Each structure stands twice: as structure tokens, then as C-alpha cells.
Amino acid sequence: MSTERFKDRIAYITGAGSGIGQATAKQFAADGAKVFAVDVNGAGVSETISAIRAAGGVADGGVCDVTSIASVQASVAAAVGAFGGLNILVNAAGVGGFQRFEDLDAAQWHRVISVNLTGPFNTTKLALAHLLQRKGNNIVNVASTAGMRGQAYAAHYAASKAGLVNFTRSIALEFASRGLRANCVCPGGVMSPLLQHFVPREDFEPQLMAYCTPPVQHLMSQPEDVAREIAFLASDEAHMISGTALVADGGTLA
């Protein structure tokens, strides 16, 4: 493993079965953390755990549906039981996609809000008592540039990520005096499995799609890029950073 940045730290990471969550679990393990990886995708999270162990890291975890408070409660208890505590919570689980507002139905709206916003509420609620055991523990949420300004054809996704940004800020303020930090990273386009749900349709207005395009054409992040940004925010190097939405979008919002 590469460093000891997170030596003796225990990280609970959602969405760890693919994409940003999987890359983050591997990055944290490479940096010396004991990783508890969870995802609704059992095969994906098993693959992540196996890869970490094969590389010499420490990992455990399993299936967890972040939209279910009972599932999260059991999962957090399993993490604490496996490793004896909890120092870092990373909420990387997320869903979304493009949909014209006229075609967006209530089920799609509630699904995106449940995973992207209620999920971090559930994990934070259940992890909080453990995170407060030691000053310097922290939370990193994966938001999006869609949470920093409006995004056409993604009202449900943008609303969930905007809510997550201010949820993060609120937690950072409320628990600052107790030594808990909370931040979020806001990537632009990321070459992850989620991207397949953000394919523009022929009837989308091209100028609205260009509004969300990086200034350097086809400049897209890899999951590993975002994982490194998350690791920085979770590390002691960022001990003075809390309540921040770190934009990592290749200049899109500039």
C-alpha cells in the first residue's frame, strides 16, 4: 500500500461497488485506512473488498441500502463491530440521469432524493455518535456541480445535490465545536457507470448542454481523480477545511 495518511483510521464508504465509491475505497485503503465498503450492489462491493485485500489492504463490508434506516443501522453496527470504531464517513452512493421535466414522474423524483439526500442523512444519523468520539473525525459527501447551479433536464438530480451541499454545511456548523468536520466534493462529468444515464437526447437544446460542458472539450474526471480529492478533504492536511464544497470540474463553473 502506498502511504500511511489514514493509518489507524476506519472509513465507512457508501457506493463502494463501482465508480467514485469504489475508487475511493481503494484510495483510502492504499493510504492505510481500514475500509468498510458498502453498496446495494453485492457483487460490486465484494469485488472492491477482494481487490483491496489482494493489494495488501484491510477491508470488510457488504450490502447496504442507504435509503433504509434499518439497513444503515445494521451496516454501521457491523463496521464498528469489525474494526472497533469509525473515523471517516464518505457518502458516495448516488443515482441520477437526464430526464425532461415533463416526463419526470414522482417515482423517479423520490428515488433520486432518497438515495442522494436521504441516504447521507441516514448514514450521518447512525454514524454520528461514533464520529464524535474523537476530534478530527470527518464526513465527506459527494455532491456535484449540478448542486451549485441549475442543470437543465436534471431537476431531480440538481435538487438532491443542492440539498446535499447545504446539508453538509449545516452539519459542519452544528458540530464544529465538537471537533467534527464535514465537507463535500462537487465533480463535473466523471467517467463512471453513472455517466451512461446522462446521455443527451436529440430533443435537448444544445446550448443548454454546452452550459454544463468544460472549457476544454471532453475534459472529464476519472473516478480516481475524485477519490484523491475526497482523500485530501478527509485527511489531516485539510484540518482547517470544513463546510466547503470543493468544485472539481475542469473549470466548467468558472
d(CA 188, CA 195): 11
Beta carbons within 8 Å of 28's beta carbon, 6+ residues apart: 6, 11, 13, 35, 88, 90, 231, 234
Q: 46: part of which helix (H) or strand (E)?
A: helix 42-54
Grid cell 472539481 is found at: 248
d(CA 43, CA 33): 22
**Is 157 part of the annotated catalytic residue set?**
yes
| E strand segments, 57-137 | 58-63, 88-91
Beta carbons within 8 Å of 141's beta carbon, 6+ residues apart: 90, 91, 120, 164, 167, 168, 182, 183, 184, 185
Q: In what order do the strands lie in the sheet with 34-39?
A: 58-63, 34-39, 10-13, 88-91, 138-142, 181-187, 245-248
Decide if 18 contacts 192 (C-beta within 8 A): yes
Question: Which positions are annotated as active-site residues?
Answer: 157
